[in-house]
Amino acid sequence: MLRQLTNSPKSRLQLARKLAERNVPGDVAEAVLDRFEEVRLIDDADFADMWVRSRSQSRKLAKGALRRELAEKGIDADIAAGALEQLSDADEESAARELVQRKLRGVNGFEDRAERDKTTRRLASMLARKGYQPSQAFRIVGEVLDAAVAGAEAGPDF
């Protein structure tokens, strides 16, 4: 069980599932998990804070996706809400813009309406999979595409 905690932090529910997989009786598992909480080997609030920081930075996930992931890991909704407070709306929007800009590197041809529409749908879908609201995703993609077209029309700075 301690090996589970040395690999990466785990929530109480994740450890409970591991104990159940190993056919540990429920009352024994509860006692072990209670003791782990007492000595702070597991702390769902700390786990949630770490999870939100890590996943929002590495995977650029929005609050919606992070909330779902925390729920899957057994984190209480109030604890999840507290952890999600560390992400501002500006941070979330900045991450979405960065994702779209990264996907657009080296891509051009936005003068063709059909190609631009296809690119818009593809990028908005990518943001939706990462938990961004559809209206926010389409707005950000449109703004980044408009900036990319304006930059292309301006030509290189010599």
Picking from 62, 84, 106, the residue at the C-terminal end of a domain is: 84
How far is residue 75 from each of residues 23, 47, 102, 153, measured CA to CA in Å?
A: 23, 9, 32, 49
CB 140 within 8 A of CB 127: yes
Looking at the structure, do residues 22 and 69 belong to the same domain, yes or no?
A: yes
Looking at the structure, do residues 19 and 73 belong to the same domain, yes or no?
A: yes
Distance CA 44, CA 10 (A): 8
Burial of residue 12 (CB within 10 Å: 0-12, 13-18, 19+) is buried
Looking at the structure, do residues 77 and 37 belong to the same domain, yes or no?
A: yes
Q: Which of 12, 46, 48 is nearest to 32 (CA)?
A: 12
Per the structure, the complete domain to which residue 45 belongs is given by: 2-84
* SS3 assignment, position 131: coil
State residue 32's pLDDT score. 92
Number of independent structural domains in the chain: 2
Distance CA 117, CA 138 (A): 11
State residue 107's pLDDT score. 75
Looking at the structure, do residues 11 and 72 belong to the same domain, yes or no?
A: yes
Name the stretches of the chain with pLDDT < 70: 1-2, 4, 109, 152-158
State residue 114's pLDDT score. 87
State residue 157's pLDDT score. 52
State residue 158's pLDDT score. 47
Task: Show the tokens assigned to 135.
Answer: 């209206």
State residue 85's pLDDT score. 96
Amino acid at 17: R
Picking from 68, 84, 100, the residue at the C-terminal end of a domain is: 84
Distance CA 60, CA 1 (A): 31
State residue 2's pLDDT score. 66
Task: Show the tokens assigned to 61.
Answer: 């996930």
Distance CA 5, CA 21 (A): 16
Report the sign of the C-alpha dihedral through residues 76, 130, 85, 53, in that order.
positive
